[in-house]
Structure 1
């Protein structure tokens, strides 16, 4: 996947990045949830049919950090590195990352269309029904369909719901704020994950193994509400289950169910379920259940 970083200023008449004819999926795509995947998969199908490159355009930082009067979103379901990996896994060939600065926020919807769609050789634009763009969000999918005639085609992806609830990044954040991580896969399409770096190991065994590990997540990660969660750590080689305490800010303390020898310092934490009861009682019970399950499945 080729990644192209773009920044706009009023003096720009074109974007000097050697664009290739493409089908462009548009959106901020925080989380890359089921609704986002539907947009990207729709664009991918069109790209294959038209023998064009599959491109995605996203923005950084979140527009709310630049546009006055909006609630600022500074923590992300998928920070940019995680988002890039998911795009790559979805078969995206070109990723355009637009710097959402003050100049860009003042660009008209017509100016955006000419510079960032026509200028990037977009032959077919794909976005969700509620996608808005340009100064004050005056551009929408209905306007884009009309403006694109004889220049590029437009496909609008309709709303996707789960249990009569619109699948959205906002709803997933609400579930995280409520600690309902076990409800997230129905909307996200997978279990929620957070990447981080191991900064401390304790309870080391004779062979350098540990039972307690502290993992520092990036400050921009959106973490579940304070509490204790059943989690699974992936170091690229093995999976380790444990109970995570989220009351330490972006430093996650996880008591593992068994001794672990991590093969890498960068790991992924998968959030499975919020735990009830006191920390010590819950860890004791979960450890007992885990050992019992392991013994029951052991081959004799």
Structure 2
């Protein structure tokens, strides 16, 4: 897959001999609603012999359009989004820098410069996709162009509610991990590097890998989780119990950290890139009166994680 980063004004033009089917959207999470858009694009491209493309934006438009509620953390940071789309067999990923200047673009200019100008013959997007200054462009305006066909993907519903990135972020923040994973269509994963920590865990019999996220991820709520994990390029799945928190038993106002106790594993893995998959929420973070109470709770967490992950 070729990743093409675009600015405004757009000076890039695709090879004139290549015609394109393109899926439009921000696609944070690449949840099952997004997957429907991507799969429809692939279906149309294969049927009509077109190149497969996705057009997205970076950063999230809210950084420019809604600074009071700007979204600077992601379920699928751009490098992860790139990997997933490559697995789909996408030929081109267009990433437009969503700047203040780009946000002022008229819908007509956006279509002419970024779609028609790049030989787009099929446009696929969610029913609520908007574009151009003040979001004046919509699926309805796209359908008016004769240079390409437009396919609108209807709202994907689960339990009578729209499946959306906003909904999944809310579920992750409310300890509803299993529901969030169901809407994602996979277990939520966070990639990171194993770094040196305080090494307190090994002194109480529960050594942990301290994970520094590689990208600006949206983190689940503070608490303890049953997780699975891969280490480096090894496809083996390890099981563990993880905490996201500030270690209130030992600290006040300390930064949030991610620690994973890998079950039945005793090797040193500093510097390794790992992927932590968040499978089940166990409990909220607590402040304990002493080490004995903490050790007892961690052992209980480990036992629960083993039970919850028995089918993994």
Bucket of the pairwise TM-score, normalised by the shorter protein? 0.7 to 0.9
Q: CA RMSD in A?
A: 2.6
Shift of 1:18: 3.7
1:178 aligns with 2:174: yes
In 2, Cα distance between equivalents of 1:157 and 1:54: 17
Counterparts in 2 of 1:1-300, with a 5 A limit? Answer: 1-9=1-9, 14-18=11-15, 20-68=18-66, 71-146=69-144, 148-149=145-146, 151-200=147-196, 202=199, 211-218=207-214, 220-235=216-231, 236-237=233-234, 238-248=236-246, 249=255, 251-261=257-267, 265-276=272-283, 280-288=295-303
In 1, Cα distance between equivalents of 2:304 and 2:151: 50
* Secondary structure class of the residue paired with 2:83: helix
Shift of 1:62: 0.3
5+ long unaligned stretches in structure 1: 205-209
Between 1:214-223 and 1:106-115, the stretch displaced more is 214-223
Shift of 1:283: 2.5
Change (3 A) 1:288 1:174: closer
Alignment deviations for residues 153-204 of structure 1 (CA, whole Å, 9 cap, x no partner): 0000000011112110000000111121121122110111111000027577
Alignment deviations for residues 178-232 of structure 1 (CA, whole Å, 9 cap, x no partner): 121121122110111111000027577xxxxx93110001451100011111111
Q: How many residues align?
A: 287
5+ long unaligned stretches in structure 2: 247-254, 287-293
Alignment deviations for residues 221-273 of structure 1 (CA, whole Å, 9 cap, x no partner): 10001111111121132322222221145631122222243677111010011
* TM-score (norm: length of structure 1): 0.87
C-alpha contact (below 8 Å) 2:192/2:274 kept by paired residues: yes
In 1, Cα distance between equivalents of 2:66 and 2:302: 49
* Secondary structure class of the residue paired with 1:258: coil
Between 1:31-40 and 1:224-233, the stretch displaced more is 224-233
C-alpha contact (below 8 Å) 1:229/1:244 kept by paired residues: yes
